[in-house]
Amino acid sequence: MNPIEHLVLFLVSLVANTFSAFSGGGAGLIQFPVLIFLGLSFSIALATHKVASVALGLGAVLRYMSTNRLERQFVLLIIIAGVPGVILGGYWILFVPDKLAILALGVLTGGLGIFSIVKPTLGQDYTPQHRDRTATLYGGIVLFLLGILNGSLTSGTGLFVTLWLVIWFGMDYQRAVAYTLILVGVFWNGAGAITLGLLSEIHWQWLPALLLGSLIGGYFGSHLAIKHGNRLIKRAFEVVTLLISIKLIWVSLA
């Protein structure tokens, strides 16, 4: 690729990951289709996108370090429950028809946005709940299933984690987004990148521009989320989920 094309990749990654860091997921809405449009196959684009998404989590780490809001029990829960699901999902996607999986994800993602819209107070306050051992186990099982989605598909699966943390554990949007960006971004996407890299191929030549855009976008989007608070994050979450839903359903029916 020439320097202009690398600049385009950087700008695409910057915009996609800024929105993702602000709303709690959805970088694949923009970045992943562009990789396919530029000539990569589905599997290579997915693996390359996963590697770049790790930088999104690192950018978020740099911004959220000063807030120190992460609780150890949830850090461990999200990693231990989710990473095995991500690895399983990386293998599972090889045996599932692409259009069927994409259609199902599109419908589910749209449901997330609609659910958030009809619940105006959802995620606006931090109201801890379901913290006993049994409830935490149920929460971990769902995180494992979401890990499978994350490992197999790429558009918006982090949004599921964000909303699940809000609904089940009573987190506000700002806190849930921090967990999603850091733990899903670094650990889940890292595991997915390794799995897909072993099963498929990573297009290393495009990664410098994608990684730089993801790192800066992750930091800047996290800064916006911290600055503007739960109400605006909720609106961004709803817009991104509905856009992703429309895009996925359109692709699956095309």
**Cα dist from 190 to 84, 87, 208, 221, whole Å:** 12, 10, 16, 20
CA distance 235 to 219: 20
Q: Supply the pLDDT for residue 167.
A: 92
Size (the chain), residues: 254
pLDDT in tens, the chain (254 residues): 678 888 989 998 998 889 888 877 777 777 877 887 788 877 788 888 888 889 988 888 888 876 767 888 899 999 999 999 988 887 776 666 667 767 877 788 788 889 889 888 888 888 999 999 999 999 999 999 999 888 876 666 788 899 899 999 999 988 898 899 889 888 998 888 888 788 878 899 999 999 999 999 999 988 888 888 788 888 888 888 888 788 878 877 87
Which amino acid is it at 120?
A: P
CA distance 118 to 90: 33
- The CA dihedral of 241, 244, 245, 249, to the nearest 10 degrees, is 180
Q: Supply the pLDDT for residue 129.
A: 92
**Cα dist from 2 to 8, 205, 206, 207, whole Å:** 10, 11, 11, 14
Which pTM does this prediction carry?
0.83
